[in-house]
Amino acid sequence: MLTWMPSRKARDDVGMTSDIALLTEDLTKFYGQRRGIEGLSLEVRAGEVVGFLGPNGAGKTTTIRLLLDFLRPTRGHATVLGLDPRRDKAALHRQIGYLPGELVFPGRDKAEDLLRFFAAARGGVAWSQVTEFAERLDLDLSRSVRTMSKGNKQKVGLVQAFMHRPAVLVLDEPTSGLDPLMQQEFLAMVRDASLAGQTVFMSSHVLAEVQQAADRVAIVRDGQLAAVQRVESLGKRAVRAVEIHFDDPVDPAEFSVLPGVSDVVVSGPVLKCTVDGRIDPLIKAAARHEVVDMLSAEPDLEETFLSFYYHGEGAGDASRAGA
Ligand SMILES: Nc1ncnc2c1ncn2[C@@H]1O[C@H](COP(=O)(O)OP(=O)(O)OP(=O)(O)O)[C@@H](O)[C@H]1O
């Protein structure tokens, strides 16, 4: 999906006051000696969907809590819609939809009562907006939240985050506990939110879901930003297996010298190899021969994702919005 800049009207409709929805500069949080997140500089533009990816303990929740002023930074700062989350908490309250990673609903309230409470706390939300999201997520509002499964509690959390159509949605592991059908519905809600001019910043450790909904992914590892990539370019970087069938036998040496090409094996007219990154050099070399067929396995984004963890590639080359 390409970055899409919402129209001025769409941004006005959701109360967007700044072109930059989220900004962090050198954002750092240490818990005593323990690093939560360090030196995080990231810009999310209004209307963008950014996936915040990383394994357990990478620093995703810490970052999100800093953005919402549930934690105070050790160093650096963050702004939301150009405002300071600490100083302008009240002003931001209605413009942010937040889904915490760990949902705790005390009491025996029915989902409906709880959502009425959240709606009132936000200065009133048309009840039709609440039921619209509840229906999309197939959530029974008459059930007591305390007795709900993890997935149903997650749906309540999502409805409260989306129901007031906030300018910015900050979602910590939003698909946690949802079945595949509901995960798809959630991703559709994210796409609709983006089309309506809302900004979405969502943490996840599932690359596939982020790939479906996000414009960019920011990858954190050990408390530091390891890479920020446009989703399409993650695909382009991926390692893929390629098999080319020629009319006549080819010389492996001709292909093994190509940039990004390795593991070249030729048996008669069939060449198999691995391509890391751009496939163009291989295509141009192959085109010097008569090509009968070519097979290329889909880039494995999970592998690309892991390669960021283990080799620490590409730090911050698209950390600025629209890069
Ligand atoms: N309250 C705390 N006290 C001490 N250390 C903490 C605290 N909260 C988080 N940490 C540490 O900070 C680091 C980042 O944790 P964080 O919860 O932000 O990661 P995460 O990416 O959200 O992980 P997960 O996917 O497991 O939720 C981890 O090493 C974690 O142990």
32 domain-assigned: yes
Q: Is 321 within a domain?
A: no
Using CA positions, which residue lies closest to atom 25 of ligand 1?
56
User: Is the domain of 64 the same as that of 198?
Assistant: yes
155 and 253 assigned to the same domain: no
Atom of ligand 1 nearest to the CA of 32: 4
Tell whether ligand 1 has an atom less than 6 A from the beta carbon of residue 204: no
Average pLDDT, the chain: 85
What is the reported pLDDT for 124?
84
What is the CA(60)–ligand 1 centre distance, in A?
8
Whether 176 and 50 map to the same domain: the answer is yes
Domain match, 159 and 245 both: no
CA atoms within 13 A on the CB side of 85: 23
Q: Which atom of ligand 1 is nearest to the CA of 61?
A: 22
CA of 47 to the centre of ligand 1 (A): 28
The interface pTM score, or ipTM, of the predicted complex is 0.97
Q: Which residue has the higher pLDDT, 185 or 121?
A: 185
The DSSP output letter for 310 is H
> How far, in Å, are 23, 62, 76, 256, 313 from residue 27 at the CA level?
10, 10, 4, 44, 21
Q: For residue 303, is it within any domain?
A: no
Read off the CATH number of the domain in which 288 is found.
3.30.70
pLDDT attached to residue 318: 47
281 ligand 1 Cβ < 6 A:
no
The finding on whether 76 has its CB within 6 A of some atom of ligand 1 is no
Rank 11-20, 50-59, 303-312 by mean pLDDT and report only the highest: 50-59
What does the chain come to in residues?
323
For residue 246, give its domain range. Answer: 239-298
Query: Of 235, 268, 284, which marks where a domain is finished?
Result: 235
Closest by Cα among 222, 242, 287 to 54: 222
Residue 302: partners with Cβ closer than 8 Å, 6 or more residues away: 207, 208
Q: Is residue 145 domain-shared with residue 259, that is, in the same domain?
A: no
CA atoms within 13 A on the CB side of 262: 5
Distance 52 CA to ligand 1 centre (A): 14
Looking at the fold, whether 32 and 143 belong to one and the same domain comes out as yes
Question: Do 135 and 200 reside in the same domain of the chain?
Answer: yes
Per-residue confidence band for 54, with pLDDT thresholds at 50, 70 and 90: confident
Specify if 312 maps to a domain: no
The predicted model gives 87-95 an average pLDDT of 84
Residue 309 lies in a domain: no
322 found inside a domain: no
Which alpha helices (DSSP H) does the chain contain, by range? Answer: 8-13, 60-67, 89-93, 111-121, 127-136, 150-162, 180-195, 207-213, 231-237, 252-256, 280-286, 301-311
The verdict on 274 and 201 lying in the same domain is no
Number of domains in the chain: 2
Is residue 224 a part of any domain in this protein?
yes
Give, for ligand 1, the residue of 24, 27, 62, 72 to mutate: max count of ligand atoms closer than 8 Å to Cβ: 62
Q: Are residues 265 and 291 in the same domain?
A: yes
Which of the residue ranges 69-78, 126-135, 170-179, 210-219 would you say has the lowest mean pLDDT? 210-219
Amino acid making up residue 290: E
Closest CA to ligand 1's atom 30: 57
pTM for this prediction: 0.77
Band of residue 238 on the pLDDT scale cut at 50, 70, 90: low
Task: Please indicate, yes or no, whether residues 74 and 187 belong to a single structural domain of this protein.
Answer: yes
Ligand 1 atom with least separation from CA of 65: 18
Check whether residue 99 and residue 193 sit in a common domain: yes
Domain membership of residue 65 (yes or no) is yes
Give the pLDDT confidence score for residue 316 in this predicted structure. 41
User: What is the pLDDT at residue 311?
Assistant: 54
Looking up residue 201, the CATH number of its domain turns out to be 3.40.50.300
12 vs 278, more confident: 278
Verify that 208 and 259 share a domain, yes or no. no
